Amino acid sequence: MTASRSRLWAIAAAAILLALLFIAPFYFVLVNSVKALGEIMVDAASLPDKYLFSNYSKVWDIIKFPKALWNSILITGISVTGIVIISAMTGYRLVRKPSVFNKILFTCFISAMIIPFQSVMLQLVRVTSFLELRANLFGIVICYLGFGLSLSVFLFHGFIKSVPLEIEEAAVVDGCSPYGVFWRIVFPLLRPIIVTVIILNGLWIWNDYLLPVLIIGSNKDLTTIPLAITRFFGQYTKQWDLALAGLTMGIMPIIIMFLMLQKHIIEGISSGSLKG
Partner 1 sequence: MNLRKRSNEWIQQLVFVGPGMIVFTIIVLIPFLLGFYFSFTEWNGLDLDKAKWIGMDNVRRIFTNDDKFWAAFKFTLKFTVVTVVVTNILALLLGLLLTRPMRGRNTLRTIFFLPNMIGGILLGYIWQFIFTKGFKTIGEMTGWHFFELPWLGTPETGFWGLVIVFVWQTTGYMMVIYIAAIVGVPKDLMEAATIDGATYLQTVRKIIMPLVMPAITVCLFLTTSGAFKMFDLNLSLTKGGPGTSTQSLAYNIYAEALVNNRYGLGTAKAMLFFFAVSIIAVTQVWLTKRKEVEA
x/- string (CB under 8 A) for partner 1, residues 52-81?
------------------------------
Q: Cα(200)–Cα(215) distance, rounded to whole angstroms? A: 21
- The minimum distance between CB 264 and partner 1, in angstroms, equals 13
Distance in angstroms (rounded) separating the CA atoms of residues 244 and 260 = 24
Region binding partner 1 by CB under 8 A among candidate stretches 25-33, 48-56, 163-171, 187-195: 25-33
Task: In whole angstroms, give the CA distance from residue 205 to residue 219.
Answer: 18
Give the number of residues in contact with partner 1, rule: CB under 8 A. 88
Of 22-30, 49-57, 160-168, 189-197, which segment contacts partner 1 by CB under 8 A? Answer: 22-30
Nearest residue to 205 (alpha-carbon basis) of 66, 73, 63, 67 = 73
Shortest distance in whole angstroms from residue 220 CB to partner 1:
18
Q: 156-195 mask for partner 1 (x: CB under 8 A)?
A: ----------------------xx--x-------------
204 CB-near residues (< 8 Å, 6+ apart): 148
* Contact between 23 and partner 1 per CB under 8 A: yes
* Euclidean distance between the first and the last CA atom of the chain, given in angstroms as a whole number: 41
* 41 belongs to the binding site for partner 1 (CB under 8 A): yes
Pick the binder of partner 1 from 6, 57, 119, 218 (CB under 8 A).
119
The Cα 258–Cα 268 span in angstroms is 12
Shortest reach from residue 197's CB to partner 1, in Å: 13
Q: How far is the CB of 246 from partner 1 (least distance, A)?
A: 9
Residues 6+ apart with CB under 8 A from 127: none
Please name which of 257, 263, 256, 265 lies closest in space to residue 196, comparing C-alpha atoms. Answer: 265
138 binds partner 1 (CB under 8 A): no
- Taking residues 76 to 95 in sequence order and writing x for each that binds partner 1 by CB under 8 A, - otherwise, the string is ----------xx-xx-xxx-
- 199-258 binders of partner 1 (CB under 8 A): 203, 206-210, 226, 229-230, 233, 240, 243-244, 247, 250-251, 254-255, 257-258
Q: Are residues 201 and 75 in contact, defined by beta-carbon separation less than 8 angstroms?
A: no
Give CA–CA dist 191/264, Å, rounded.
12
